[in-house]
Amino acid sequence: MKKAFKVLTSLAVTGSLLATGTGFVTEPVPAAYAAETAQAPSVYIAPIDRAKFLAGSLFDFRVELNHLTAMPSSVSITVNGKEAEQFFGKPFVKTNTDKSQEFTIRDVKINEPGTYEVAVKADNGLAKTVKYEVVLADQGGKKAKNVILFVGDGMAFPDVTMSRIMSKGITEGKYNGLLEMDKFDQRAVVTTSGMDALVTDSANSASAYNTGHKSAVNGLGIYPDNTESSLDDPKVETLAEMLKRTRGMSVGVVSTSEIEDATPAAVVSHTRRRSDKADIAEMLYKLQPEVILGGGSAYFLPKSTPGSKRKDEKNLFDMFQQKGYTIAENATQLKAANAPDKLLGLFHTADMSVYYDRSTNNKAELKSFTDQPNLWDMTQKALDTLSKNDKGFFLMVEGASIDKQLHPLDWERAAYDTIEMDKAIGVAKRFAEQNGETMIVVTADHSHSVSVAGTYWEGDGKSGREAFRTYEDSKFPTYVDGNGDGFPDHPDVDRKLAVVFGSYPDYYEDYKFDPVPTSPSVKNKEGRYVANPAKLANPDDPNRDRFLRQGTVNPTTESVGVHTADDVPLMAYGPGSQYFKGTMDNTDVFFGMANALGLNVSDAKSDGKNWVPLASFVNMMGGTVKFNASTREITIQVNDSTVVLNLNSGKATKNGKDVTLEHKFENGTTFVSGSSILEVLAK
> For the segment 277-326, what is each residue's pLDDT rounded down to a tens digit?
999 999 999 999 999 999 999 999 999 999 999 999 999 999 999 999 99
Over residues 37-83, the pLDDT tens digits come to 458 999 999 999 999 999 999 999 999 999 999 999 999 999 999 99
Classify each residue of 607-626 as buried b or exposed e, where b means 16 or more C-beta atoms within 10 Å of its C-beta: eebbbbbbbbbbebbebebe
Position 605 scores a pLDDT of: 62
Is residue 441 pLDDT above 90, yes or no? yes
Out of 91-105, 296-310, 609-623, least confident range:
609-623
Position 34 scores a pLDDT of: 38
Position 174 scores a pLDDT of: 98
User: Are 105 and 92 within 8 A, CB to CB?
Assistant: yes
10 Å Cβ neighbour count for 580?
A: 27
Is residue 668 pLDDT above 80, yes or no? no
Q: Is 606 a catalytic residue?
A: no
Is residue 11 pLDDT above 70, yes or no? no
> What does the alpha-carbon distance between residue 414 and residue 158 come to, in Å, rounded to a whole number?
11
Over residues 454-482, the pLDDT tens digits come to 999 999 999 999 999 999 999 999 999 99
Position 673 scores a pLDDT of: 83
DSSP 3-state of 358? helix
- Binned at pLDDT 50, 70 and 90, residue 2 comes out as very low
Position 681 scores a pLDDT of: 86
Is residue 32 pLDDT above 70, yes or no? no
Is residue 28 pLDDT above 50, yes or no? no
> What does the alpha-carbon distance between residue 335 and residue 572 come to, in Å, rounded to a whole number?
29
Greatest alpha-carbon span in the chain: 86
Position 608 scores a pLDDT of: 62
- When pLDDT is averaged across residues 630-642 and rounded to a whole number, the result is 90
Over residues 393-421, the pLDDT tens digits come to 999 999 999 999 999 999 999 999 999 99
- Binned at pLDDT 50, 70 and 90, residue 18 comes out as very low
Residue of 202, 449, 521, 577 with catalytic role: 202
10 Å Cβ neighbour count for 605?
A: 8
Is residue 486 pLDDT above 90, yes or no? yes
Position 624 scores a pLDDT of: 92
Give the helix ranges, DSSP H, for 560-657.
Answer: 586-597, 614-620
- When pLDDT is averaged across residues 148-170 and rounded to a whole number, the result is 98
What is the share, in percent, of the chain residues with pLDDT greater than 90?
Answer: 84
CA R_g for the chain: 27
> What does the alpha-carbon distance between residue 180 and residue 186 come to, in Å, rounded to a whole number?
13
Position 392 scores a pLDDT of: 98
Over residues 226-242, the pLDDT tens digits come to 999 999 999 999 999 99
Query: Which amino acid is it at 172?
Result: E
List % helix, strand, coil for the chain (3-state, nearest 5).
25, 25, 45
- Binned at pLDDT 50, 70 and 90, residue 6 comes out as very low
Is residue 25 pLDDT above 90, yes or no? no
